[in-house]
């Protein structure tokens, strides 16, 4: 009996895990990065369709604005998960990271455009006041500004040109996603669970980058 | 004492249900104002151009955190609220403190229609055709004693029927309050219906307050207790965040909320491209209520 146990325990658990990881990595190798752009942009026409056909209820402006903002935050979080996934699980999705980042920027830009044009109705003076005076808008806008240089340098030429500086510059995404999470917490009334869950995930993904965790390698 | 205030928003009777048109459909169908008015002939057209939101808008877009914080949560979840039987305890500085059965209250009151602007602190607005009676009539029924200065209200607290109270979004039960003169003002309504139908649960059935010159959260829903006091009672949002929500909470485009400029508002129901409109002082009821606050610094007393 003891021997059986040992035999069972010795069965190749690492091998089984590896095969799942292998399958994911294999599928990822076959999937071209441009497919991620296409799939990632599909929700946009769908959102506008919902907004025009009552899918967001009586207030399509807020529905659209929030859906875009939430997708932006989710894409930023997905981008943040790429490195830990490789380091701790051996899953290599790094070739999709640029697509996730640029998609996130596209969603943030659309989110901002909807706010400016549809939510604020081009009331520029009031918008300016809001950006300066209202912390959650100030924070959201700062996050957007952080993303601009990152989007502009998300190409091979910039990586070559900037060299090691590129890596330092793109650490700005940590700040941007943090600001996005705070923006979400701050804009809801009262204490609500959903934005706190987002923040917990963001903090966890940032924490594993701290030196203590970074030493651990799978 | 009913009918002390006549709406300037409409002179027309309640429109038959069949002729309600979804406003979005009207907007889609009418390219020009002329086309709109011909189609909208059956609606509550108002002399100054204001018309009530559709029944759908009013009953599908609600803030009623006891049933969830999403705007559609109350419409989805509030069906669990038991509204019959219902009673309202009127207590404190009144001659006849008692628990009044809802039916007895209705029998003693005159129900009238009031078409009011409704302005949320989140900077959106609607126009709602309420049915109800003046709060003053109910308070007079109970007999207000001379020492009373404030009126406190309390919403039902029923964890079995209210999924939202599991979460500490606010301290439950929801409470609100008015100064006595605000409560006695002829504009201050206790609503029992919308568009001539019994008020839906998500809108605060069976009895809610409507104070049209204050931000929506003052208009407390599903009231179970009314207490006359001589000291200023606590109010839910003020307790949660005194820096953002004052006791008075009068609609005031010049006093901005830390998170929402109150200078303008988005009218709900106009679709994606409805834009914004300037917010009116006291939500357009300045002539009626400004006198209540003579001598009060509205900036220092938000």
Q: How far apart are CA B88 and CA B138, in angstroms?
A: 11
Our measurement of the distance from residue B219's CA atom to the centroid of its chain's CA atoms, rounded to an integer in Å, reads 4
Does A19 contact chain B (CB < 8 Å)? no
Indicate the pairing of strand B277-278 with strand B264-267: antiparallel
Structure tokens at A166: 């590129």
Q: Where are the domains of chain B?
A: 52-289
- Mapping DSSP to helix (H, G, I), strand (E, B) and coil, where does residue A172 land? helix
Q: Which two tokens stand for residue B41?
A: 């002939």
Query: How confident is the model over B97-135, as pLDDT tens digits?
Result: 999 999 999 999 999 999 999 999 999 999 999 999 999
pLDDT digits (tens, 9 = 90+) for A164-214: 999 999 999 999 999 999 999 998 877 789 999 999 999 999 999 998 776
Instruction: Please judge whether B256 and A120 are an interchain contact, meaning their C-beta atoms are less than 8 angstroms apart.
Output: no
Q: Please tell me the predicted confidence (pLDDT) of residue A189.
A: 79
B residues 107-166 lying closer than 8 A (beta carbon) to A? 122, 124
Read off the pLDDT of each residue in A73-91 and give the average, rounded to a whole number. 95
Q: What would the two tokens of residue B121 be? A: 């602190």
- Residues of chain A found within 8 Å of residue B258, distances taken between Cβ atoms: 133-135
- Known binder of ligand: residue B116? no
With beta carbons less than 8 A apart as the criterion, state whether B191 and B135 touch.
Answer: no
Q: Do A130 and B53 touch (CB under 8 A)?
A: no
In chain B, residues with a C-beta closer than 8 Å to the C-beta of A186 are: 259
Using CA coordinates, name the residue in chain A closest to B171: A190
**CB-CB under 8 Å, B122 with A58:** no
- Which of B24, B241, B259 faces A54 most closely, judged by CB atoms? B24
Token pair recorded at residue A175: 């700040």
Q: Is the peptide bond before A130 cis (omega within 30 degrees of 0)?
A: no
- pLDDT in tens for each of the 302 residues of chain B? 677 777 666 544 333 343 444 443 444 433 333 333 333 333 444 445 679 999 999 999 999 999 999 899 999 999 999 999 999 999 999 999 999 999 999 999 999 999 999 999 999 999 999 999 999 999 999 999 999 999 999 999 999 999 999 999 899 999 999 999 999 999 999 999 999 999 999 999 999 999 999 999 999 999 999 999 999 999 999 999 998 899 999 999 998 777 778 999 999 998 899 899 999 999 999 999 999 999 999 999 99
Q: Which residues of B207-241 are buried (b: 16+ CB within 10 A; e: fewer)?
A: bbbbbbbbbbbbbbbbbbbbbbbeeebebbbbebe
Q: How far is A35 from chain B (nearest CA, A)?
A: 30
**Interatomic CA distance for residues B105 and A47, integer angstroms:** 47
What is the pLDDT at residue B48? 58
Is B203 part of any known ligand binding site?
yes
Q: What CATH number should be reported for the domain whose range is B52-289?
A: 3.90.420.10
Q: How far from each other are the two terminal CA atoms of chain A, in whole angstroms? A: 33
Task: Tell me, yes or no, if B271 comes closer than 8 A to chain A by beta carbon.
Answer: yes
Of residues B56, B169, B263, nearest to A191 (C-beta): B169
Which residue(s) pair with B112 in the sheet?
Answer: B132
Band (A12; pLDDT cuts 50, 70, 90):
low
A chain contacts of residue B60, beta-carbon cutoff 8 Å: 57-58
Q: Residue A123 corresponds to which tokens in the numbers above?
A: 């009331």
Tally of CA atoms within 13 A in the half-sphere of A178 that contains its CB? 11
Q: What is the DSSP letter of A115?
A: I
């Amino acid at each position: 009996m003891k021997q059986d146990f040992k035999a069972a325990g010795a069965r190749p658990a690492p091998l089984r895990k590896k095969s799942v990881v292998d399958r994911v990595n294999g599928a990822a190798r076959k999937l071209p990065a441009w497919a991620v752009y296409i799939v990632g942009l599909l929700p946009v026409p769908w959102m506008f369709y919902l907004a025009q056909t009552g899918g967001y209820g009586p207030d399509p402006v807020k529905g659209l604005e929030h859906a875009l903002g939430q997708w932006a935050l989710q894409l930023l979080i997905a981008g943040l998960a790429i490195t830990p996934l490789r380091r701790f699980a051996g899953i290599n999705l790094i070739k999709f990271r640029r697509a996730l980042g640029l998609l996130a920027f596209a969603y943030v830009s659309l989110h901002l455009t909807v706010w400016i044009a549809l939510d604020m109705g081009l009331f520029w003076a009031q918008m300016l006041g809001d950006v300066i005076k209202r912390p959650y808008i100030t924070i959201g806008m700062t996050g957007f500004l952080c993303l601009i240089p990152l989007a502009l340098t998300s190409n091979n030429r910039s990586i070559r040109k900037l060299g090691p500086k590129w890596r330092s510059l793109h650490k700005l995404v940590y700040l941007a996603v943090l600001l996005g999470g705070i923006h979400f917490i701050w804009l809801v009334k009262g204490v609500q669970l959903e934005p706190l869950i987002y923040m917990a995930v963001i903090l966890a993904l940032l924490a594993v980058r701290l030196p203590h965790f970074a030493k651990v390698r799978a | 004492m009913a009918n002390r205030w006549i709406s300037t928003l409409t002179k027309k009777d309640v429109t038959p249900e069949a002729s309600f048109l979804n406003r979005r459909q009207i907007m889609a169908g009418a390219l020009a104002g002329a086309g709109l008015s011909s189609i909208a002939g059956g609606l509550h057209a108002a002399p100054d151009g204001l018309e009530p939101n559709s029944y759908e808008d009013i009953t599908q877009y609600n803030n009623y955190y006891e049933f969830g914080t999403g705007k559609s949560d109350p419409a989805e979840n509030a069906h669990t609220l038991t509204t019959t039987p219902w009673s309202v305890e009127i207590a404190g500085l009144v001659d006849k403190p008692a628990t009044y059965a809802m039916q007895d209250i209705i029998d003693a009151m005159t129900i009238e229609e009031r078409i009011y602007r409704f302005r949320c602190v989140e900077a959106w607005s609607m126009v709602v055709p309420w049915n109800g009676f003046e709060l003053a009539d109910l308070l007079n029924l109970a007999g207000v004693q001379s020492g009373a200065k404030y009126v406190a209200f309390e919403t039902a607290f029923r964890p079995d029927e209210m999924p939202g109270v599991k979460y500490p979004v606010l301290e439950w039960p929801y409470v609100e309050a008015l100064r006595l003169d605000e409560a006695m003002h002829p504009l201050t309504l206790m609503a029992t219906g919308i568009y001539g139908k019994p008020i839906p649960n998500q809108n605060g059935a069976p009895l809610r307050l409507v104070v049209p010159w204050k931000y929506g959260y003052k208009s407390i829903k599903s009231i179970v207790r009314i207490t006359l006091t001589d000291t200023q009672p606590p109010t839910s949002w003020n307790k949660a965040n005194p820096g953002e929500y004052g006791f008075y909470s009068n609609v005031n485009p010049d006093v901005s909320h830390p998170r929402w400029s109150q200078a303008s508002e988005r009218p709900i129901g106009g679709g994606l491209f409805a834009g914004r409109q300037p917010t009116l002082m006291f939500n357009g009821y300045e002539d009626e209520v400004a006198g209540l606050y003579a001598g009060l610094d509205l900036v220092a007393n938000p």
